[in-house]
Amino acid sequence: MADDLDEFDAYLDHLAQELGHANRHAGLKGYCSGLVMPLSRKSVEPMAAHIDPLHASAKHQSLHHFVAKAEWSDKAIMQRVREWVMPALGAHAAEEAGYYWIIDDTGFPKKGRHSVGVARQYCGQLNRTTVRSQ
């Protein structure tokens, strides 16, 4: 487990090099940590409460600012992701043909009525379109 956490931290440090200002590094680490936590909702409010319960309001503001004021290049971040992932796939360059990285988030059941304008979604784990919770 400690090795996994060390590798996760190393990966986030690798990505953070593209963020520009050092103040954004903590936001990246907090947000990505929240995404991999076993929380029923993956919005910044429950993430903040779980990451720093004694300072949830300040952490919420910090994470929200990180997400809402994304002043870095998503293309540059994705290039950093490719630099990390392609060697693990055995590829030497991102331009090599035949490699695709597909992330399918339909495996996680969605629930709730908090996302305005979002329709019910298919869930691979349940093999059906989920019913909204009341």
66 and 111 share one domain: no
Indicate the number of domains in the chain.
Answer: 2
Q: d(Cα 97, Cα 93) in Å, to the nearest integer?
A: 9
Q: Does residue 85 fall inside a structural domain? A: no
Per-residue pLDDT of the chain (134 residues; tens, 9 = 90+): 678 888 999 999 999 999 877 778 888 999 998 888 888 888 889 999 999 999 999 999 988 888 888 788 888 998 999 888 888 877 665 455 666 666 666 555 656 666 555 566 677 667 777 655 54
Amino acid identity of 55?
H
66 and 114 part of one domain: no
Same domain, 62 and 110: no
Give a yes or no: residue 24 inside a domain: yes
Is 78 within a domain? no
Q: Cα angle at 23 between 22 and 29, to 5 degrees? A: 90
Specify if 110 maps to a domain: yes
Distance between CA 65 and CA 59 in Å, rounded? 10
Q: Are 97 and 81 in contact (CB under 8 A)?
A: no
Domain enclosing residue 115, as ranges:
104-134
CA–CA separation, 66 and 60 (whole Å)? 10
How far is Cα 64 from Cα 47, in angstroms, rounded to an integer? Answer: 10
Contact indicator for 101, 84 with CB cutoff of 8 Å: no
Query: Residue 12's pLDDT is what?
Result: 92
> What kind and span of H or E run contains 32?
helix 23-36
- Structure token pair of residue 10: 């190393």
CB atoms under 10 Å from CB of 1, counted, come to: 5
pLDDT score, position 134: 46
